[in-house]
């Protein structure tokens, strides 16, 4: 069995559907094959298990689909959020036991994923002076002033982490179209003002930050088998 620090990074998935990403994550979990997936998705709005939340939308689902934005349910907590071009998503498909011996460690996991957002933003932002993080509640994620830069939404299924964390890098015309993100009256924030040559490097840095935040000290980690 591999431990988390030995999992090699797969190629980033670009332009894939949200459904395709979740199917790959499910297949990895069911096969007992840990994988930390990095993806830039096709334009999609997803809502958590308690949705849909029509109050989160400012356009109808038909209007959104006409503009190329799909609307889908997601098997996670949280309200409605956007995934699409200009944003990186990381799904850490690994057993929660790698991160904590407590299978109920949801709050600590949320804090770790927010920490990965923070690490990446500090490395790649021109200034980190306006960054702030929230580790619980409807504002869960990373903020730059009053704009949400990154979001966390996950579920623990059969002892495995599903779904994960997203980071907004640059805006496109479809970014957060017709959406009050997470039901909040707050504009989204972005790490960069426009697309640039750093986008792929930012994604890999983000994935590595998630891996680092989930990896326990080597002496402890060595006693935990991934997939157990």
- The CA distance from 78 to 168, in Å, is 17
Catalytic one of 182, 202, 210, 214 = 182
Structure tokens at 189: 């924030």
Q: E strands, the chain, where?
A: 13-16, 35-41, 44-47, 70-73, 81-83, 87-93, 131-134, 141-144, 147-157, 160-168
Torsion over CA: 181, 187, 193, 198 (sign): negative
**170 annotated active-site:** no
- The CA distance from 87 to 202, in Å, is 10
Structure tokens at 224: 């935990």
Q: Which residues of 105-122 are buried (b: 16+ CB within 10 A; e: fewer)?
A: bbeebbbbbbbbbbbbbe
Q: Which residue has the tokens 């930050």?
A: 209
**Active-site annotation, residues:** 182
């Amino acid at each position: 069995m591999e431990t988390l620090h030995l999992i090699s990074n797969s190629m980033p998935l670009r332009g894939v559907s949200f459904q395709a990403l979740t199917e790959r994550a499910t297949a990895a979990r069911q096969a007992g094959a840990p994988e930390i997936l990095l993806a830039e998705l096709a334009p999609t709005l997803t809502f958590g298990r308690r949705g849909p939340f029509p109050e989160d939308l400012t356009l109808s689902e038909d209007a959104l689909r006409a503009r190329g934005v799909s609307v889908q349910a997601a098997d996670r907590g949280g309200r409605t959020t956007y995934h699409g071009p200009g944003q990186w998503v990381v799904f850490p498909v690994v057993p929660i036991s790698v991160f904590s011996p407590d299978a109920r460690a949801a709050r600590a996991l949320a804090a770790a994923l927010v920490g990965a957002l923070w690490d990446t933003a500090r490395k790649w932002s021109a200034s980190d002076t306006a960054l702030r993080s929230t580790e619980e509640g409807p504002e869960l994620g990373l903020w730059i002033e009053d704009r949400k830069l990154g979001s966390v939404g996950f579920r623990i299924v059969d002892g495995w982490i599903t779904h994960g964390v997203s980071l907004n890098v640059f805006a496109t015309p479809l970014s957060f179209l017709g959406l009050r993100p997470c039901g909040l009256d707050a504009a989204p924030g972005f790490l960069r003002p426009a697309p640039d040559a750093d986008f792929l490097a930012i994604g890999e840095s983000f994935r590595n930050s998630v891996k680092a935040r989930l990896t326990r000290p080597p002496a402890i980690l060595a006693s935990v088998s991934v997939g157990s």
